[in-house]
Chains A and B, each alone.
Chain A
Amino acid sequence: MNPEKDQQHDPEAIEKSRQQRLEIDLAARWPVGIFIGSSIFWLLLGSALAIAASIKLHDPAFLAENPWLTFGRVRPAHLNIVAYGWLSTAGIGIGLWILSRLCRAPIRDNRSLTLAAALWNMGNAVGTWGILRGDSTAVEWLEYPTYAAPFLLVSFAFVMLESVGLIRRRPPGHIYISQWYIMAAFFWFPSLYFTAHGLLVLAPVQAPAQPPINWWFAHNALGLWFTPIGLGAAYYLIPKIIGRPIHSYYLSVIGFWSLAFFYAWNGMHHLIGGPFPAWLITASVVASIMMFIPVITVAINHHFTMVGHFKKTIYSPTLRFVVFGAMCYTLASFQGSTMAIRSLNGITHFTHYTIAHAHLGAYGFATMVFFGSIYYIMPRLLEREWPSRFLIRIHFWSCAIGFIAYFIFLSWGGILQGIEMNQKETPFLEIVALTMPYLKLRTVAGSLMTLGHLAFAVSFCWMIISHRASTGEPTLFSKRIPNPDPIS
C-alpha cells in the first residue's frame, strides 16, 4: 500500500529513488546553496549588531558619536538582518530543498532562483544601509525603507513560481505535511509583507489604525513564516533521520489548520492596554490561548514519533539541533499564550521579558531548527561531509548554553523590571539600575552565541573550499556508534 515501504525491499526501486534524489540535489545545488550560504553571512552581521546593541544598553556611550551606529538604528538593523537576512534567506533555501525532495521533482529553473537569491540579498543590503543611514520606517519588524521592498517582493515572486511548479510536478498520491507548511509559508509571507508595507509605509492609513496592522504583520512574520518553515523542516527531518513514520497524520492535519487559523489572529496581544477597542484585543487574547491546540498537538505528534529514539541525538547533529528547536517551539508557544493573559501581560509588557520571549521563538526554535537543517542539506548539495566534528560541537554547545543563559538572564531581569514599573514609588532610574546586571550578563551570553555562529561559519567555508572527497561517513558528534544504523 505504501510505495515507500516497498522501496525498502526492492533493490531496483531503491536505486531509482536514490538516483532521483541525486538529481534533485544536483539541481538544487546552486540556488539552495546560495540562499543558505548568504544567510550565514547575514547571521554573522546580525550577531555583530546584536552585540553592539546589547553593549549600548549598559554602556550608552559605546559607539554613540556616529549617527549610523546610534542604538535606535543598530537595534532595528539587527532585527531586520536576522529576520530577513538570516532566517528568511535560510528558510527559503531550506523550504525549497525540502519541497523539491518531497515533490520528487528537481528544481527546474535554477537560473531564476539564483537571480531571486541575488535580489533577496540585494534587498537586505539596501534595506540595512537604509536603516543605518536614517531612513528606517520605525515600524517594528518592517524597518526596511520602501526602496528595499521591491527587491524582496520580486525575489519572492520567483520563489513562489518555482514552488508552485514543484507542487504541480509532484507524482499523484499522499501530500506530506511538510509540503503543506512550506507551501503555506511561501504564500503567507509575501501576502503579509505586501499588505503591511503598503498600508503602513507606502500609503499609510491614519495613525490609530497602524499599530494593529503592524502587529498583525510582525507577529505573523514569526507565526506564519518562520514557524511553518521550521515545523515543515522538523516534520521532514525527524522521521528522515530516525527512519520512522510520523506518529499520526490526523494530528499533523489538526496541528496545521489550528495553527493556520489561530496564529493569524494573534498579533493584537502586543497592544494590550493600548488605545484600541476591547474586542480587538480580546480576539487576539483568545486566539493566543487557542495556540495551545496546535502546539500541544504538534508536540504530541513529534514526541510519539521520537519515543525510543532520543538516544540518537547523542550522535546526529541535525537531530540534536532539530529536537532542541522543537522543544523550544513548545516552550515559546506556551510562554506566548500565558503572556497574552491580560493580568500577566500587565507585568511582562514593555519589558525585556518580551525580548527574551521573542528570542525563544526566533532563536531557540527557528534558528536552531535551521542550523540542523543546514547540517543535513549541505552534505547532499555538495557531496561532501562536514569537515570537523569539533566545530559542530563548539557550534552546538556555544549556541545552546549561550542561548539558555541569554533567556534566563533577560527573562529574570524583565520580570523584575515589570514588577517595579508597577510600583509607583519606584523612581524610573532605579528600575534602569535594577536591570543593569542582567543587561551585562546578556552581552556575555550573546557573545557565546556569536562564538557558536563563528564556528558554524568557519565549518561552512571550510566545507566549501576543501577538496576532500566524500568518505561516505557522516560527521557525527561522536565517532563511536554502538548501533550500526546510519543516522544522518
Chain B
Amino acid sequence: MSKFRYIFIGFMLTFLSSWVGLVLMPVWGLGNFEQTPDPATGEMIPPKLSSLEKEGRDVYIANGCVYCHSQQVHPARVRTDIARGWGVRRTVARDYMNQEVAQMGTMRTGPDLSNIGVRNPSETWHYLHLYNPQITSKGSNMPPFTFLFETKKKDPENPAKDALNLPEGFGPGADYEVTPSHEMRALVAYLQSLKLSAYEIPEAPAARIESLAE
C-alpha cells in the first residue's frame, strides 16, 4: 500500500492545483462584484433583472438557447463582433454580475445576443421571429417555438389585442388567432433586458480603447 499512497497523494495534488487555480481563484476574483453608479446617469449598473425578466431567463435556460447563441462580445482583434453591431465594446466580467446564471455560450449557430435588447428592441419582431424564424429571417436554422404561443379560435366580435399579425403562409389560418403565452412574454422581456455591454463601467473604457485600436 505504501507506494500507492504516494501516487494517490500525487494525483490528488495535481488535481488540487487546478482546483485552486481555476475554481477557487475565479470564485474569489470574479465572484464578488458590486454595482457601480453610472457616471452619466447616476443609476446603479449593471442593472438587476426584474422578476419577469428572471422568469424569461429560466425559459431561455429550459429551452437551451445557449447551445446556438453566445452572450459575449469579443474584442475586434480577430472577430467582427463589434463590426457586426453585436456590441460597442467587448464584455467584461462585471457585466454579468446580475445575471445569476451565466449563459455565455460556446457556439454561434446563431448570432450573439449580448446586446439584443439594444440592437433589436421591437417586441413584435421577437414574437414573429420566435413563432417561426422563417418569417423574419428566411433560411435560418433556428427552430420555431410555437409551443410557447397560444392558438385560439378567433372571436370576430372581440379579437385579442395582442394577437400576432402573421403573414400569409404562416400560422393556423384566418379563423384562429395566435397570442404569446406568459412564458413567451417573459422570454421577450428577458431578451429586451440584454444590454450587457451597452454602458460604461470602470474597467470597460480600457477594453473599449483596445477594441478600437486594433
Chain A: residues with CB nearer than 8 A to chain B?
A: 56-58, 60-61, 64-67, 70-73, 75-76, 134-140, 167-168, 175, 179-180, 183-184, 187-188, 191, 195, 199, 204-214, 216, 220, 224, 257, 260-261, 264-265, 267-268, 270-271, 273-277, 280, 283-284, 343, 346-347, 349-351, 354-355, 421-424, 428-429, 432-433, 436, 439
Contacts and interface: CB of A to CB of B under 8 A. Distances in A.
Interface stretch (B16-24, B116-124, B154-162): B16-24
B14 interface: yes
Main secondary structure of the interface of B (DSSP, over half): loop
Given A138-B62, A207-B100, 5 more contacts: A73-B63, A187-B11, A207-B102, A265-B18, A421-B80
A70 B61 CA distance: 12
Contact of B27 (A71, A138, A213, A277): A213
A60 B133 contact: yes
* 7 smallest beta-carbon distances between A and B, as pairs: A72-B64, A346-B78, A264-B18, A424-B83, A209-B31, A208-B93, A350-B108
B36 interface: no
B102 A210 contact: yes
Nearest to B207: A275
B141 A432 contact: yes
A209 B30 contact: yes
A328 B138 CA distance: 39
B177 interface: no
B143 A56 contact: yes
A72 B144 CA distance: 11
Given A60-B143, A211-B102, A433-B139, A421 B18 contact: no
A469 to B, nearest CB: 40
Contacts of B92: 275
B59 to A, nearest CB: 9
B50 interface: no
A264 B103 contact: no
B55 interface: no
A428 B83 CA distance: 12
Given A73-B64, A276-B93, A350-B108, A213 B141 contact: no
Interface of B: 1, 3-4, 7-8, 10-12, 14-15, 17-19, 21-23, 25-27, 29-33, 60-68, 70, 72, 74-75, 77-80, 83-84, 90-104, 106-111, 133, 137-148
B102 to A, nearest CB: 4
Contacts of B72: 273-275
A75 to B, nearest CB: 5
Contacts of B62: 72-73, 134-136, 138
Contacts of A213: 22-23, 26-27
Contact of A212 (B12, B23, B140): B23
Contacts of A70: 63-64, 143, 145, 147
B144 A265 contact: no
A206 B94 CA distance: 10
Interface core residue of B11, B32, B77, B148 (most chain A CB under 10 Å)? B11
A15 B29 CA distance: 61
Contacts of A267: 22
A76 B61 CA distance: 11
11 contacts: A70-B145, A134-B62, A136-B61, A136-B64, A207-B98, A209-B31, A210-B102, A212-B26, A261-B14, A268-B22, A277-B30
Interface core residue of B3, B30, B63, B80 (most chain A CB under 10 Å)? B30
Contacts of A351: 107-108
A305 B109 CA distance: 43
Contact of A273 (B1, B33, B75, B144): B75
A188 B15 contact: yes
A277 B29 contact: yes
A188 B11 contact: yes
A422 B76 CA distance: 10
Given A205-B27, A349-B106, A64 B94 contact: no
Contacts of A140: 66, 106
B34 to A, nearest CB: 10
Contacts of B21: 265, 283
Contacts of A343: 78
A71 B144 CA distance: 10
